[in-house]
Amino acid sequence: MSGLTIAGLQVAIGLAQPLRDCSLSVAPGEVVGLVGESGSGKSLTALACLGLLPAQARARGQIQLGDTALLGATESVWRGVRGRRLAMIFQNPMSALNPFFSIGRQLLEVVGAHFAEPRAALQLRVRKALKRVQLDAGFADKYPHQMSGGQLQRAMIAMALACEPELLIADEPTTALDVTVQARIMRLLRELTGQGMGLLLISHDLALVAQVAARVYVMYAGRTVETGPTRELMGSASHPYTANLLKAQPRLGQFQRRLPVIEGQVLPATSSPGGCVFQSRCWRATELCGLQPPPALSLRPQSRVECHHPILPTLLAKELEHG
């Protein structure tokens, strides 16, 4: 087995169950999107992959990176995985960068922690990492406050890539940047994955994810409720929640920049419904939806939807017309 596989991941924090059932996979070199409203459990999924869940959290299920089981791994296993085989970038680059050290020194520290090599070889890795994110070698001497938001995000990506990880998890990597810089960072991330590294791109911005991801997972109330190849899923969603997200799109191929507001409240993490997690906001809900958890159906190759009454492709257009 290679790449990342998450199966049936559940996370409880106190009485809350913010992750109810998350399952996803990212093959080597693949770009996969994870999309959902704020609070749906995207960041917790990422943190679980890095063994960085809050101390009081209890996790169940399976997280595999290649042949390594990550959930419940020992500290010595984590040392070989975190930053080395699996790297992460966040919304705010300053959360990972130290304002008092130059970018070059911080990069050197990262590679020095993972490779037992002479200084010259480590410095070569630093120069290579800067080059990959299109920052010239002079940036090694710069301090974070001397750089723009886009340059800082590039420096953080360089830091993540310096150890040539198998998988990069990017959690809302461009949310804090303006739109043109956002597009450049996205292009950069896409180019980097061409070299065998997998990318899990997490965002509330469906349009952004659709630009780069080959497959998308849609998360709702801690469950991955639908997945499929990006084009198919964006063209005709099977889950009523995904369809709601796409409903306001002006034309096929021109997607909303932000998730539109969906009426009703997201299911609180402390509530445990008898049936489907989306029932209180769903326009297709029947009595059955309140009684039994929906089955996972595969209506198309590579696709999966958790719903008692999934929308069939030909019906979708009509429903949206009248909805």
Ligand X SMILES: Nc1ncnc2c1ncn2[C@@H]1O[C@H](COP(=O)(O)OP(=O)(O)O)[C@@H](O)[C@H]1O
Cβ-based neighbours of 279, under 8 Å, separated by 6 or more = 273, 285, 289, 290
Contacts 24+ apart (CB under 8 A), 242-246: 242/218, 243/311, 243/316, 243/319, 243/320, 244/281, 245/35, 245/206, 245/218, 246/206
Does the footprint of ligand SF4 cover residue 279 (CB under 6 A)? yes
Taking CB under 5 A as the criterion, the residue among 17, 25, 40, 43 binding Mg ion is 43
Does the footprint of ligand SF4 cover residue 150 (CB under 6 A)? no
Site for ligand SF4 in 233-252 (CB under 6 A): 239-240
Residue among 63 and 282 whose Cβ is closer to ligand SF4 = 282
Site for ligand SF4 in 4-43 (CB under 6 A): none
Taking CB under 6 A as the criterion, the residue among 43, 151, 174, 244 binding ligand X is 43
Residue among 43 and 193 whose Cβ is closer to Mg ion = 43
Residue among 36 and 294 whose Cβ is closer to ligand SF4 = 294
Within 204-307, strands assigned E span 215-220, 223-229, 296-297, 304-306
3-state SS, residue 178:
coil
Here the tokens at position 36 are 């959902």
Q: Identify what 308 binds: ligand SF4, Mg ion, ligand X, none; CB under 5 to 8 Å per kind.
A: ligand SF4
3-state SS, residue 305:
strand
Does the footprint of ligand X cover residue 40 (CB under 6 A)? yes
Residue among 11 and 276 whose Cβ is closer to ligand SF4 = 276
Q: Which residue, among 196, 93, 84, has the nearest Cα to 135 in the 3D structure? A: 93
Residue among 13 and 73 whose Cβ is closer to ligand X = 13
Cβ-based neighbours of 55, under 8 Å, separated by 6 or more = none
Q: Where do contacts with Mg ion occur on this chain (CB under 5 A)?
A: 42-43
The footprint of ligand X (CB under 6 A) covers 13, 16, 18, 36, 38-44, 54, 269
